[in-house]
Amino acid sequence: MKTKKQDYSHLSPKQPIGIFDSGVGGLTVAKEIKRLLPHEDLIYFGDTKHLPYGEKSREAIIEYSTKITNFLLDQNCKAIVIACNTATANALNDVMQSVAGKVPVIDVINPVAEKVSYEIHNNVGVIATKATVNSGLYKKSIRKHNKWIKVDELATPLLVPAIEEGFKNHPITHAIIYNYLSNSKLKNIETLILGCTHYPLLIDEIKQYYGNRVRVIDSPNIVANHLKSILDKYNLLNDQNPNPNYHFYLSDLTKNFEKISKKFFGKTIDLELKVL
């Protein structure tokens, strides 16, 4: 059966890119998009009221994700980036149905899984939320491209709350990281995928644990490059915008989000409370 060819001729390069996550984690993806695509307007929705998604039911994650997607479509976004592994693992198909082919949808699991599959990796570890690990999507996606790769997934549920509470470079996070990474499931891995967009905020501490023994995958960079290639393919790249606008919507205003978003995007960011 032939796949229907995508037609995005109704979209304009001047429209913003929509990005969403349960909280601050998606900012790691947004920051990389900003670096790689410096002329793009960005609209970010952080569902801080409902985090962490990793502890929620699949039905709840689908409800939150589709509501946010519809909100971003109402904001005239030309692409939707699901900057959340848990939302991708549980609600990608539902988001695609909501979008109904109107704009491209970029997720954070499939581009990473595909890249890892075609590089030299034999034993891959994935750390992620319970909901992402339970979905098994990383293992399925990687092995779809390369059935010889061994994939071990470990749920690491304490990391997101620790990050959202601002415990970066703190004895608490050091203890949590040591406890998780020393788990026997990850004993023989050569590569580690940070299967949650919050986790790159702890990448230095994770790399410190491993030294040079394990390669840690930079997922936000892979996702941002994938987004760029999609926008380029459909002539939707904006390179004529000297003063891009970054607008952040939160379902609950939190100090940690304000702190990290200002660090990534500068002091003039626009934060707005929006309960859907």
- Average pLDDT (91-100) is 96
- Average pLDDT (4-13) is 89
Q: 198 among the known binding-site residues?
A: yes
Whether 17-107+221-273 shares its CATH topology with 109-219 is answered yes
Higher pLDDT, 102 or 120: 102
Share of the chain above pLDDT 70, in %: 98
DSSP strand pairing (79-82 vs 105-106): parallel
Q: What amino acid positions are annotated as catalytic residues?
A: 84, 196
Neighbours of 204 (CB within 10 A): 11
- Average pLDDT (219-236) is 97
For the chain, which residues make up each domain, given as ranges? 17-107+221-273, 109-219
Whether pLDDT at 3 is above 90:
no
Q: 135 among the known binding-site residues?
A: no
Neighbours of 217 (CB within 10 A): 20
CATH says 109-219 is which class?
alpha beta
Specify the CATH number for 17-107+221-273; select among 3.40.50.2020, 3.40.50.1860, 3.30.1330.10, 3.30.420.40: 3.40.50.1860
Q: 197 among the known binding-site residues?
A: yes
Q: How far apart are alpha carbons 7 and 211 in whole angstroms? A: 46
